[in-house]
Amino acid sequence: MKMVLRRILIVFGTVLVSGSLALAQMRGAEQPSPASNNPELNPDQQQRQQNAAFGTMQDKDFVHSALQGGMAEVQLGQLATQKGASDDVKQFGQKMVDDHTRLDGEMQQVAQQIGVSAPRGLSKKDKALVAKLQSLSGTEFDDAYIEAMVKDHKNDLMDFRQEVANSQNPTVKQAAQQGQQMIDEHLQLIDQIAKAHNLKD
């Protein structure tokens, strides 16, 4: 009796194991394993993926900074058209308003694509510069504005060049390239104005 019972249990256990294996095979056929969807990356691909993730953070910081800086250039340009004592300063100020308004519009579209919120206002540094220029007039205003524009555009040009070199996002890179060309043009122009006003670079 015991031998019969033992054989029954062995047969029953074999059936259970076979059924479990068959069920597992059926489920495996219905749902591909994650490995088939995400093949293991080689070291080069992993490095590119890590670089892309870092680039995304860098891109967001760059776009936010570019928007904030552009906002300042527009406000400062408006101030130059109102308070500038010389025609070249007034004309340069108007160019800042026009060019940076256009660039900011393009950069805002990029910001929406990569999830960057528009800056709420000027940076502390730019607020201080606006306040300083508002307190000046005549040639004092012109000289201070020119010197600020030379310094700002040199710094901005470095930032845009760095983004063009490092960004792995084609949309951000293209916007940075356009901005770089524009800022380079502005820097050449304000350098000429500085020389005309006998100001050192």
User: Could you read off the pLDDT of 133-175 as tens digits, one per residue?
Assistant: 999 999 999 999 999 999 999 999 999 999 999 999 999 999 9
Judge whether 145 lies within some domain: yes
Q: Please count the other Cβ atoms lying within 10 Å of the Cβ belonging to residue 94.
A: 15
Model pLDDT for residues 80-109, shown as the tens digit of each residue: 999 999 999 999 999 999 999 999 999 999
Question: For residue 113, what are the domain limits?
Answer: 55-196
Do the domain assignments include residue 9?
Answer: no
Residue 191 domain flag: yes
pTM check: above 0.75: no
In a domain, 32, yes or no: no
Look at the chain and report how many structural domains it folds into: 1
Q: What is the CATH number of the domain that holds 119?
A: 1.20.1260.10
Determine, yes or no, domain membership for 44: no
- Per-residue tokens: 35: 């490995």
Q: Is residue 77 one of the residues assigned to a domain?
A: yes
In a domain, 16, yes or no: no
Q: Is residue 48 part of a domain?
A: no
Count of all residues that appear for the chain in the document: 201
58 contacts 114 by C-beta, under 8 angstroms: no
How far from 90 is each of 59, 74, 81, 95, 147, CA to CA, in Å?
33, 13, 4, 9, 15
